[in-house]
Structure 1
Amino acid sequence: MIKTLLSFSLLAVLLLFEIMENGNTTSFFILLGLFNHTKAHQFLFMVVLTIAFASLLGNALILLLIHQDHRFHTPMYFLLSQLSLMDMLLISTTVPKMATDYLTTSRFISSTGCGLQIFFFLTLGGGESFLLAAMSYDRYVAICHPLQYSLLMNWQVCLRMTLSSWFLGAADGLMQAVATLSFPYCSAHEIDHFFCEAPMLVRLACADTSVFEYTMYICCVLMLLIPLSLILVSYSLILAAVLHMHSVEVHRKVFGTCSSHLAVVGLFYGAAIFTYMRPKSYRSVNHDKIVSAFYTIFTPGLNPLIYSLRNSEVKGALRRWLGQCVTLNHEQ
């Protein structure tokens, strides 16, 4: 699976390079960033860096626990590991460039770098959208059809859903990155954002972008609303099944597990829909930057907290791992 993903990503990046070199006349853009160099903004910058670092650490810890503990070698936790991987890569796509620009005051980004940011950002965002739908299906099968779980949610089905999430995200990212960078950008190269995001970049094009904006809107409907609809259907069926159960312990366990997933879904889809599906007349640059910071930096940091604090198995695995680390230190 990893080799397939790497091969597809490499081909997409090479195609992106080729099209941008042949079709785009703009060699660079200027990212105006998220913060100014005031004391208040310097403090906020440090807060954002701290959250981003904590997010990377938290998601890396989730990946480590799932990899190390054989109890977590199940489709449910494999999907969770993919979510953590996507969140780590999402932060790595935006935060290092933002931090470098702020500390060095060099805010230039090449058109190639801009295109790659758009590609990876949409690949990971779109992939996470479908991955959350796959996770909701996994919970639906586990709760509503537990006796058929090994058949309906075996490793083959799990891997196919995971690969599909990555491929669909990459296809959307490649299409939008190529289309966005193919427009002529005459003189206005300043992007009032802290990373290259397609809706912000299209505003600078000195050409008619109405067809592309309509197409981008349709893509957002497909990439956001279809998975969201599947999630809502899955949890509606779960709720209906749980209400017919008479065990209080079962109710508590099911709602505890599903509420974590629903919290992540609400944070992710709420911010994404606000950014990509609002009418242009309601858009504000400052609002867009704040919401983008929320779902590219803060939401990935909340995911490991939500899943670990509400999951007794993850907390137990963390305690066992910390115990092993302490034991090894004493032995040395």
Structure 2
Amino acid sequence: MGIQWFPGHMHVTKKAITERVKDIDVVIELLDARLPGSSANPMLAQLTGKRPKLKVLNKQDLADPERTQKWLDWYNSKPDTKAIALDAGETAPTQRLIKACRELAPNRSGMDKPLRVMICGVPNVGKSTLLNTMVGKKAAKTGDEAGITRIEQRINLASDFYLFDTPGMLWPKIIVEKSGYHLAASGAVGRNAYDEEEVALELISSIKGHYHRELAARYKLEDEHNIPTRHDDELLTEIARKRGAVMSGGRVNLQKAAEIVLNDFRSGTIGRVTLETPKKFETWLAEAQAAEAELRRQRAEKNKKRREAEPDFDE
């Protein structure tokens, strides 16, 4: 099943978005630039329908610039969609966002037809930090724990531009297993919903091929060129030894090593890393959808056989 996290307050957020979207002209979805496919909420796409969408690849300063451009090109090729990249700490992002939204809804302007925009995103994607930068004051709570924001609020970015903020939200079933691990690695999943060592191993698996130089430099790993073919647990063990995560008797503390790797990824200390490309993500999604379809088929067949085996009491 992989990693799943959809606590009760997210059900409330879903209902709030369902009601709010009826009056919305443009939907901004804030994505993590290091995992732009995995941090895109498929349930949000269903809830918002064909409304114009602005995809904002946030934390671009932590992501691989070449892969960020690939994702921008991919999203900008979609109908009724624009994509831009931002840093959460960018000094003046407001005008860029307003301009992009107005281009998506050119018929909405002036006090008689104000542009109504909703901003959404997975937990811990940097939305609250971005909003605080945009309004020049602390309008939203921030933190490194998933699920900080719990209420909707309206922010007026211009006299005819209303921005509705929503709490961070995942979706009930993450069918792409890689996405669950990537979301957990980014901090979008509550800490009680995953094993840190398991997530760290999956993170190493995702970055050791394309970013083996960054791994070697950060943790002073030996035999740099063979890193892509080494086992993930072997690499985590070496990282533990290199970073002093060693217990009595010389035993390595893999839990401590996992925390180090996850914290380094979240802070960008490993380097500018992007875990997925559009082509890779499309492959993962297609495989997951095929597996889900097969599972539904098997369940339907099982239910059919059970009904056929039940006695007919009308005879």
- Richer in strand (by share): 2
Does 1 or 2 have the higher relative contact order (CA < 8 Å, sep 6+)? 1
- Richer in helix (by share): 1
* TM value normalised by structure 1: 0.24
* TM value normalised by structure 2: 0.25
